[in-house]
Structure 1
Amino acid sequence: MQDPDIQALLEDLKNPDQTVREQSTRELWRIWFTQKGIYGLEILERSQMLMESEKFQEAETLLNQLINDQPDFAEAWNRRAVLYFVQQNYRKSLADCERVEALNPIHFGAIHGKGLCYAALGNYVAAIQAFRRALEIQPYAIANQRLILECNARLS
């Protein structure tokens, strides 16, 4: 990610000002969701509505089609990872999170998701590593800080 705008947003994630961090976070998500223009965004939105309606198979079919059509669309993989996580299919979710990270190494959502998957699978050491990696990108993310503490407690 050599784009100067992306670099500036990443720096803003480390800003002590919460408003700056929140604006940067929203902008990064907007960039990721719109990577493939209106076409990709509309499918992501439809799949989200299907997930919220617990129409998981339909959402998965839609996301599979999008991934087959646009295999470099990191957010499509991430949305499918979320779908699998909601269904407690942690290994599939983890595999998709890893694919997202390969496509977009700064995707703090997918890195956080990896940590959640590892924790759900009982691999607390790997979960801590993922949450720490996410904190490198978003150092003020309290959720990741809390999850590291919880994983450490489970290792004790």
Structure 2
Amino acid sequence: MAMKHRNLKGIVTATVIFTAICAPATAQTADSTDEKALLARLAEASAAEAPQLDRQLQAIWNRSGSPAMDFLLTRGRDALERGDTAAAIEHLTALTDHAPEFAEGWFLRATAYYTAGLYGPALSDLERALTINPNNYDAIFGLGTLLEAFGNPKLAFEAYGRALALNPHHEETIKAMDRLKPEVEGKAL
């Protein structure tokens, strides 16, 4: 029963977060003018143009404004890539403690928590990341992934749709939507 209660609590929390990210974006991020222009171009880009626009957005989102915080982000990302989630969580916790308005730190720590199987903390960090930067389609994809893990394919599908609206060429999201489409929309007879 405790597990069902935790899942229900997670689903309710995820629903609240999802509702918040689907509302019009109002949070400000660094280089918001450039970000808005890049997001508009990405939404209309060809498959050939999309990777370059994605790299430019990632470059904006990965700049904290502090070399020390950028270093912690790099250390956390490197630890995660090595499979050392404990070290990743340590570095990224230091980052979020010292730069609480830096969305990418929260998003990457959410990824580390998810990798470690800690879905509650992952969801909490995604909420913070999306509050700061509601346009991060990778974080929205992560939310969809968590919603799937919580057994809510309909909300996951909606989250994936929001991510695709921002980046129509996000391959993982396209695959996730293709996988969930028959379950959510039903099968044609």
Say whether the fold is shared (TM-score over 0.5). yes
Task: Give the gaps of 5 or more residues in structure 2.
Answer: 1-27
CA contact (8 A) 2:144 2:157 kept: yes
Q: Which amino acid aligns with 1:119?
A: E
Indicate the RMSD between aligned Cα atoms, in angstroms.
1.9
- 2:54 counterpart of 1:18: no
User: Which protein has the larger Cα radius of gyration, Structure 1 or Structure 2?
Assistant: 2
| Residue number in structure 1 paired with 2:4 | none
Shift of 1:51: 2.1
Deviations 1:34-91 (A, max 9, x none): 1233222211111122223333222212211111111101000011011011122223
TM-score (norm 1): 0.89
Once residues 45 and 3 of structure 1 are traced to their aligned partners in structure 2, the CA distance between those partners, rounded to angstroms, is 23
- 2:180 counterpart of 1:119: no
Shift of 1:24: 1.1
- 2:136 counterpart of 1:107: yes
Runs of 4+ in 1 over 6 A off after TM superposition: none
Once residues 55 and 150 of structure 2 are traced to their aligned partners in structure 1, the CA distance between those partners, rounded to angstroms, is 30
Q: Which amino acid aligns with 1:33?
A: N
Matches for 1:34-45 after TM superposition, within 5 Å: 34-45=63-74
Deviations 1:101-135 (A, max 9, x none): 10001111100110011112211111111101111
Give the SS at the match of 2:48. Answer: helix
Percent identical among aligned pairs is 28
Once residues 122 and 66 of structure 2 are traced to their aligned partners in structure 1, the CA distance between those partners, rounded to angstroms, is 25
Aligned length in residues: 156
RCO higher in 1 or 2 (8 Å CA, sep ≥ 6)? Answer: 2
Single out whichever of 120-129 and 136-145 deviates more from structure 2.
Answer: 136-145
Once residues 75 and 59 of structure 1 are traced to their aligned partners in structure 2, the CA distance between those partners, rounded to angstroms, is 13
Q: 2:173 aligns with which of 127, 140, 144?
A: 144
